[in-house]
Structure 1
């Protein structure tokens, strides 16, 4: 029964986030992109600080070890980001040297997409994919690996508590939307085929369920390590919120736009709290 719940949660998060991203990227909701980023940041921070970490600290694990795990997790995700940026930036540099005119022709759509919040934080990766069509497979591979990790994190949350699993699934769904929006923009730019771009990113999102299945059997045999899984999950959510999402919101805005941004951030926190209350009530 628990495995079925994990499958439902991972599929909702993995595929649901892709479809919402498609609605935002291709549909009439495109103008709400910045609001979605604000809400995702609020939801991620609330999930980490109000649910995952308290659950971890209620266990028998020592506070020192859990804080150390959280710190190592944050540094790990930072280094992972560095490695990805360096790798794609290195490839992109050689490509610019080899085909500078082609690259400059491609820069404008990318900067336009970023200005509207359609591209995630890793612009070099997306610029590389834009300029060289096979690069879209690199984007999909990275997305699949990321989704597999999300699946494991969701499974560990479900193993701790059904309510936490639902919250983690929603949080993953929220934070994957901006990433998938960037992927869809890149893939559509490479092929011009909106439907094929959606199919490819949906398949990558479905890998979340595979990660959830592996996580179920892994966490089941490592119950004592569950608090540490939750701490790592928290570090992932905190890192994505503070390093990827919030920097995209740190721009000079009018008073009205700033109030709206803060309101949507608060809405993300409220959403997580509300879902927690509803799930707890059942």
Structure 2
């Protein structure tokens, strides 16, 4: 398969499949299951950052200082975006950022904010998928896997908020599916822009690492701390380890067939 074919297939899978899986989980599973999905997603994100993305960025001849500087810049950018309520993604049914104010008409506005933030997030994820595949197929598959892993609990949380805002199940699913197409758009734009500008790949990988670190540390992990029970904590640690292990295992398997 060509790089473009991998990019299109992975961005469609990352967007559409994650939304459908999230909808199925939301409609059939209890909301108490979402933290377990979040735990796995944390491991997948951190595994992708430290086992794949950052090593690959430095392998392109960039110094540790340059790569770490881009990661630092990315974290600051995502902090600012979150302050503007454009990057915030909750993974539980109730949270301070998304709980609608009990005023007539404000619940729909809460749902709209969720969709706006999700669309922007999907668009950037598509660009990151393109950047990874233009580096090599191995990194692209691992990056797409990490994105799908964290998109499922994110989309499940967003789906719950859309239902809570007053949308029907059918409309919530439709709007989430439309939002997911932004990932394909971002991937195609990323492919067109990066194909002739390979020098941008290492800094974009650093930016990708920043996004994964920020989502895991600033958004996902605080959700887990809302459950202080020691037994639940032990399960969370095991699932985080499973997420890291899955990234390592896929990296080893894909690397053995690609290189």
| Structure 2 gap segments, 5+ residues each | none
Task: Determine if the alignment matches structure 1 residue 132 to structure 2 residue 107.
Answer: yes
Q: Which 10-residue stretch deviates more, 209-218 or 190-199? A: 190-199
Contact 1:41 1:265 in 2 (8 A): yes
CA offsets 1:8-51 (integer angstroms, 9 cap, x no match): 11111111211221122111364421110110001000100110
Range with greater deviation from structure 2 (168-177 or 23-32): 23-32
Give the match for residue 229 of structure 2.
Answer: 254
TM-score using structure 1 length: 0.83
Residues 60-71 of structure 1: matches in 2 within 5 Å?
Answer: 60-71=61-72
Displacement of 1:134: 4.3
C-alpha RMSD of the superposition:
2.3
How far is 1:205 from its partner?
Answer: 0.8
Counterparts of residues 123-162 of structure 1 (less than 5 Å): 123-127=96-100, 131-162=106-137
Contact in 2 for aligned 1:23/1:29 (Cα 8 Å): no
Per-residue CA shift, 1:142-188, capped at 9, x if unaligned?
Answer: 21111111100010011111011111111111222232122211222
Which residue number corresponds to residue 107 of structure 1?
none
Deviation at 1:227, TM superposition (A): 0.6
Q: Contact conserved, 1:70 with 1:231, CA < 8 A, in 2?
A: yes
Q: Which has the higher helix share?
A: 1
Structure 1 unaligned segments of length 5 or more: list them.
Answer: 89-113
Verify: 1:73 aligned to 2:48, yes or no.
no
Q: 1:211 aligns with which of 183, 186, 198?
A: 186
Shift of 1:132: 3.3
Hey, what's the Cα distance between the residues in 2 that align with 1:51 and 1:128? Answer: 41
Displacement, 1:230? Answer: 0.4
> Is contact 2:107–2:166 with CA below 8 Å preserved after alignment?
no
* Whole-angstrom distance in 2 between the partners of 1:144 and 1:124: 17
CA distance, structure 2, for counterparts of residue 211 and residue 150 of structure 1: 7
Counterpart mapping for 1:260-271 below 5 A = 260-271=235-246
Distance 1:118 1:134, change over 3 A: closer
- 1:94: which partner in 2? none
Number of residues paired by the alignment? 253
Q: Distance in 2 between matches of 1:84 and 1:140?
A: 11
